[in-house]
Amino acid sequence: DTAVSQTPKYLVTQMGNDKSIKCEQNLGHDTMYWYKQDSKKFLKIMFSYNNKELIINETVPNRFSPKSPDKAHLNLHINSLELGDSAVYFCASSQGRNNQPQHFGDGTRLSIL
């Protein structure tokens, strides 16, 4: 019955590889987000989709590409992984674009060797 679920929970891979992280929410929300949390726990928005439309695209390298096949899913694909991509990536969802609290997944811990 997990509300926002991300897979995988842990991802260890080598520099230069391409990887994907999947996110699904069963809350019926229409807005989904990807955040990056660095080693100092600072949380930064990367992308947001509302009804499958990209509404927030922060200064993120082109190697990161989100894809929303439907309102309940927002996946994150990363090409040519770099050491600096090591972080915890959180998916979140909310109802509407403003004012509603976001519900977070448990995070995907990405480690680049």
Partner 1 sequence: GEDVEQSLFLSVREGDSSVINCTYTDSSSTYLYWYKQEPGAGLQLLTYIFSNMDMKQDQRLTVLLNKKDKHLSLRIADTQTGDSAIYFCAEIYTGGFKTIFGAGTRLFVKA
Binding site for partner 1 (CB under 8 A): 4, 40-43, 45, 48, 55-56, 90, 92, 97-99, 101-107
Nearest residue (CB) to partner 1, 35 versus 85: 35
Nearest residue (CB) to partner 1, 18 versus 53: 53
Cβ 98 to partner 1, closest distance in Å? Answer: 6
Rounded CA separation 109/33 (Å): 16
Paired residues of 10 in beta bridges: 109
Nearest residue (CB) to partner 1, 56 versus 60: 56
Cβ 82 to partner 1, closest distance in Å? Answer: 24
Nearest residue (CB) to partner 1, 9 versus 63: 9
Cβ 28 to partner 1, closest distance in Å? Answer: 17
Cβ 107 to partner 1, closest distance in Å? Answer: 5
Burial of 35 (0-12, 13-18, 19+ CB in 10 A): buried
CA count, 13 A, side-chain hemisphere, 103: 19
Name residues whose C-beta falls within 8 Å of residue 13's C-beta, 6 or more positions apart in sequence.
19, 81, 110, 111, 112, 113
